[in-house]
Amino acid sequence: MSKPSRNRLSLLSVQVFFPLLLLLFVLYKTGYLSLPFYWDEAWSYATAVFDMHENGATILQGNANTELTRGHPLFFYFISALWAGIFGTSTTAVHLLPLIISCFLLIVLYYFCRESFGQGTAVIALSFFSVQPVFLAQSTLLLPEVLLALLALSSFWGYFKKRWWLYVLSGSLLVMTKESGIIFVATVILDRLLVSRSVRVNEKILSKQYLWEFAVILVPAGVFAANLMYQKIRFGWWFYPEHIDMITFQGNELLNKSRMFCSRLFLQNGRNVFLVVSVICLTGLLSRKTLHKKEKHFLLFSFLFILLYGAFSILNFFTARYILSALPFYIISGSVVISSFLEGRKTVRVIVVSGLVGLFSYYTWFGFRNESDVSLAFRDTVLMQKEVVNYAENMNWNDKLIYSSFLMQYYLSNPYLGYLDDQNEPFYEVKNLQDLPYDLYIFCSNEKDPFYEEVSGNNDYILVKRFERNKAWAEVYALDSQ
């Protein structure tokens, strides 16, 4: 085969790669669309979205139930409620929206990398990111983290390429999705003041062009400030009081959350190997002085953003899915230096990239299997807990006083969440107070309950039924009547 023919074949394979990967992603995730709502999407986000759906979609805090929205900016709730109003409130219909958002994230990631760093880097970054367990798990959940990642990356694309309409639109929607979005905007401001000037040629800091661009950069910050002022006028608080109470400055807790953040983002699920390979490649590029200015700019921006986002995360409440806002910048940064360092070494690059994709895939489908909402194995827990609810329905326990974990209370009592059969009544007598006598006790593996040991180890209680699905389990106890 001649060289031009091989080049055409290679180009064709790359062009087919992206739509094929996107198609496989959608086909795989369709199996998750009909799952009942789980964890934070069940007790917080879905509940708030359905309340907004019933009472009218709004993007202004004064017209929403802040006890359900937890005082967060409302853009995600707003579009989700509108979606439910158009396509219905079934779990499949509602979960279709985050799947579409996830597809847009992959599209933006691919085309941003292709335009900024070349086709090879785009393929590598997409291959790495698309098999990350936190992304795959979150991609069909009614939670805002994928949307935050999409808006942050598209905002940077607009900033990086001076497509200011894209930056203003995405950045404004970002800060109206969650408070953490302002960290990205702050990073852009600092980057424009301190970092980008070092990689731009002959730029005058007080030129009309610079001042105009800086004014445009501040627009999302202005949107964020206006929303805060409205909240202050309407409710008397700048930020939701319960969230303020979660802020900590205790040394031990800050240290523990720092370790947790670094572990979740940089080290877990094969990303430790990715980090080592990236550092080796970056060291090689720096020693050879072949790191391009646009690559240097992106790496410095990503480092600054992750640093600020990490500081914000350890001061506030932190859970593993929050890393998704920073993960694209980490993955793209590593992909940029790996692709650039191994340019011209086609065989080595294929081996390294294939090895890392294989490592990530192993952790995603085999090595990282727990009940959190950042692991694909959460599906086992959801299906098992639906079995528990349906068993309780079949046993006609609706009039029984039931003790259960926090989340199971919602699963048993809220028909919108997908656990109850449509024709059955919800359970109204489900509580979590340990000082009451109950007819039944339900314990689940994904929520550690200190009351479990007392009940399971007491001969006065009998195990009615145990449910298992791989590592997930639930047990139902009743007071022995004999």
- DSSP 3-state of 236: coil
Instruction: Calculate mean pLDDT across residues 118-135.
Output: 96
Q: How confident is the model at residue 9 (pLDDT cuts 50, 70, 90)?
A: very low
User: β-strands 430-431, 472-479: how paired?
Assistant: unpaired
Residue 85 in tokens: 């109003």
| Structure tokens, 354 | 């294939």
Residue 440's pLDDT band (cuts 50, 70, 90): very high
Residue 12 pLDDT exceeds 60: no
pLDDT surpasses 60 at 4 = no
Listed in order, strand segments (DSSP E) in 54-109 are none
Q: Is 446 exposed, middle or buried (0-12, 13-18, 19+ CB in 10 A)?
A: buried
Q: Which pLDDT score, from 0 to 100, does residue 16 have?
A: 84
* Same domain? 344 vs 382: no
Does 6 map to a domain? Answer: no
- pLDDT of 204 over the 70 cut: no
% of residues, the chain, pLDDT over 70: 94
Measure Cα distances from 333 to 122, 193, 424 in Å.
11, 21, 51
Does residue 52 register a pLDDT over 50?
yes
Angstrom distance (rounded) from CA 236 to CA 66 = 13
Phi, psi of 18 (to 5 degrees): -65, -55
Structure tokens belonging to residue 467? 């449910």
Does 230 fall in a domain? yes
When pLDDT is averaged across residues 433-455 and rounded to a whole number, the result is: 89
Which of 367, 396, 416 delimits the end of a domain?
367
Q: Residue 5 — pLDDT band, cuts 50, 70, 90?
A: very low
Which residues contact residue 127 at a Cβ distance below 8 angstroms, ignoring those fewer than 6 apart? 21, 353, 357
**Do the domain assignments include residue 232?**
yes
**Nearest alpha carbon to residue 46 among 418, 383, 420, 417:** 417
pLDDT in tens, 241-276: 877 877 888 888 899 999 999 999 999 999 999 999
Predicted model pTM: 0.93
Q: Tell whether 345 and 438 lie within a shared domain.
A: no
Around 474, how many Cα atoms within 13 Å sit in the side-chain half-sphere? 27
Would you say residue 423 has pLDDT above 70?
Answer: no
Q: How many domains is the chain partitioned into structurally?
A: 2
- Give the Cα separation of 221 and 171 in Å (integer): 8
Residue 203 pLDDT grade (very low, low, confident, very high; cuts 50, 70, 90): low
Cα separation, 375 vs 321, in Å, equals 10
Q: Which domain holds residue 387?
A: 378-479
Q: What's the CA gap between 103 and 109, in Å, rounded?
A: 10
Residue at which a domain ends, from 319, 337, 367: 367
